[in-house]
Structures are given as C-alpha cells and as structure tokens.
Structure 1
Amino acid sequence: MTTTTVAVPALILAVLALAGAAAAWLRLRAVQRQFRVLWGEGPQRDAAATMRMHIGRIDALDDRVTRLDGRVDGIGEHVAAGLRHVAVVRYDAFGDMGGRLSFSAAIVDDAGDGLVLSSIHARGESRTYAKGVVAGRSEITLTPEEQQALASARSDRADA
C-alpha cells in the first residue's frame, strides 16, 4: 500500500508536468510563428542578425534620402528661374472689330522676369510685339491689357 500511496501522487505529478510541458511547447510554437518575420528565412534563423540587416537597410535608405534632399534643394533654384507663370488677356483692339482676336500674354518666373507678348489683330493685318520684363517691370510702357496679363501671371505666386 505504501508503494501505491507514493506511485499515485508521482503519476499525477508526472501527468501535470507532461501537460505543463505540452502547454509550454504549444506557446513556444505560437511565439515562433509570431516572430518568424524577425527571424528571416534560411538556415540561420537569428532575430539579432535579421535586426542588424534591417538596421543596415534603414541606414542605407537614410543616406539615400539625405543625398536626394540635397539634389531637390539644388533643383529648387532652377524651378524658380523657369518661366512658369503664364496669363493671357484677350480683347478687341479696335472698336469696329469683334471676337476678341487680339491678346496679351505674360510669361514670367518667380522673380517676375520674363516677357509680355501682344498680338494686335486688325482687319487687314496683325502685328505682334514682345516686351521684356525684369522684376515685374518693363522699360517699354505696357498697355493696360499687358499690365493686366502681367499682374495675373504674377498673382499665382505666393509672394506676389
């Protein structure tokens, strides 16, 4: 009977230990599935090596972004000097002509440098004029339509 009193608790303890080991093994498998992304693929499934690899990739991307940022800063000056602000004003140059066939077009950069083109349409002829613009002003007197076109072209800038 003494053997039985010792064997039964030992058997119960062994079953509980086996159940605890099975539960721990199942939990370990669940954790392994969750961290499979960190371990990476291949024969060396090491979370630390995978983290080092990702840190290296992040550092390389940071260097690349820094270089690209420098290039973007350099491009900004070229964009500001581009003739990218445009406005067209159509009008009737003569009272007896309709259809607003005459026009003035202003084309300037961020600093207000560029040109104003005007085409005056009459019954028998058409004349075209070009006037240079520096800092939003022209050495040649601008017509009201040319001034309107220039003001419209410069108004799409935030600092105009």
Structure 2
Amino acid sequence: MDIAALTLAVVALAVALGARRGTGRRMATGAEALPEDVHGLRQEVAALRAEATDALRHLAVVRYDAFGDMGGHLSWSLALLDDGGDGVVLTSIHGRSEARTYAKSIAGWTCDQQLSPEELEAIEHARP
C-alpha cells in the first residue's frame, strides 16, 4: 500500500513539472524576475527625478530690520532656487513711509549683481 502511494506521488510530481515546463516559464533572478510594470515605474521615477532638478524647491526666508529705528522684522529676503542653484532672490525693504521690492537672478548659487548680507544668508540657507 505504501508503494502505491509513493508511486502516485512521483507521478503527480512528474505531471506538475511537465506542466510547468510546457508553459515556457523559467525561474528568473535579479531584474529579469521583475514584472514589466515595475520596469515602467522605475523609468517614470527616473523621469520625475530629472524634472525635479529644475523645480524651484530650495527656499529660505530671512527677516530683518532694514533700518535701525524700526522694529518688527518687516523687511525680508526670499531665495527660490533649483538643485543647480539657479533661481531668484526677492527682497522687500520696508521703511516708515514706503516699501521697495527687488528681484535678482541667481545662477549657480551666485549673482552678477551685488547681494546684501541678508540675500547671501537666504541663499546659503536655501542650499541643500
């Protein structure tokens, strides 16, 4: 009786292996084992990362008193930069009777125009 059960088990195993070979499926390892949609997702993530390098995603704000006789830190400098240090620094200087706003282009973490200490500080705080 045990021989009959053992024979039946061997036959079942042979049938299962034959069916698996018949489908043409092989055990793959590494990147070959991943489904096609995973490869597509990896390509999409790489494309999104490439696009994000141009995004103005590094920012910092420095608030300060531009004039000694005024308080409240109403003046500010805002740095908006991408991964390469390209972008803009916006500065607003508030006085008693007026406010002035300036924009300066930044390329490679530097500027062709002279920067105030607060603008330089904003750029340094925005740098990753």
TM-score range, shorter chain: 0.7 to 0.9
C-alpha RMSD of matched pairs (Å): 2.9
Give the share of equivalent positions with the same residue, in percent: 48
Give the aligned partner of residue 89 of structure 1. 62
Question: SS state of the match for residue 85, structure 2?
Answer: coil
- 1:1-160 aligned at under 5 Å gives the runs 62-154=35-127, 157=128
Q: Which structure shows the bigger proportion of residues in helix conformation? A: 1
Q: Structure 1 regions of 5+ residues with no counterpart?
A: 1-16, 25-45
Paired residue total: 115
- State the distance in 2 between where 1:62 and 1:142 align: 53
Deviations 1:97-142 (A, max 9, x none): 0000000000000000000000000000011000000000111100
TM-score scaled by length of structure 2 = 0.75
- State the distance in 2 between where 1:130 and 1:82 align: 18
Higher-Rg structure is 1
List structure 1 segments (4+ residues) > 6 angstroms apart after TM superposition.
46-50
Q: Which structure shows the bigger proportion of residues in strand conformation? A: 2
Quote the offset at 1:84 in angstroms.
0.1
